[in-house]
């Protein structure tokens, strides 16, 4: 997973949905510290959590991971 691209896209998605790190963490059953580490590019969510994030933020895994088209592969 491209951590820096994921972190950037997560930050954008949170902002566009007017959500805080804490709100996302509560929805996912994790901690604000975990979400913060994702946003800093220190850690990454596991696959199942990535899917939950995408569902909650109304995003696709491709867009969250920075694959916006075939040219990105």
Residue pLDDT, tens place only, 30-42: 999 999 999 999 9
CA distances from 47 to 15, 50, 52 (A): 22, 5, 9
The dotted CATH code for 3-58 is 1.10.260.40
Q: Number of helices and strands (H, E) in the chain?
A: 5, 0
Average pLDDT over residues 1-20: 91
Going by pLDDT thresholds of 50, 70 and 90, the confidence category of residue 72 is very low
For the chain, domain boundaries = 3-58
Count the Cβ atoms, other than its own, within 10 Å of residue 3. Answer: 14
pLDDT for res 4: 85
pLDDT confidence of residue 48: 97
| Phi, psi values for residue 3, rounded to 5° | -60, -45
Q: According to DSSP H, which parts of 1-73 are helical?
A: 3-16, 21-28, 32-39, 47-57, 61-65
Residue 2 has pLDDT above 90, yes or no: no
């Amino acid at each position: 997973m491209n951590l820096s691209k994921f972190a950037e896209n997560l930050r954008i998605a949170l902002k566009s949905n007017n959500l805080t790190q804490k709100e996302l963490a509560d929805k996912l059953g994790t901690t604000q510290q975990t979400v913060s580490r994702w946003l800093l590019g220190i850690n990454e969510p596991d696959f199942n959590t990535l899917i939950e994030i995408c569902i909650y933020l109304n995003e696709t895994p491709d867009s969250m991971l920075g694959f916006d088209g075939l040219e990105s592969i």
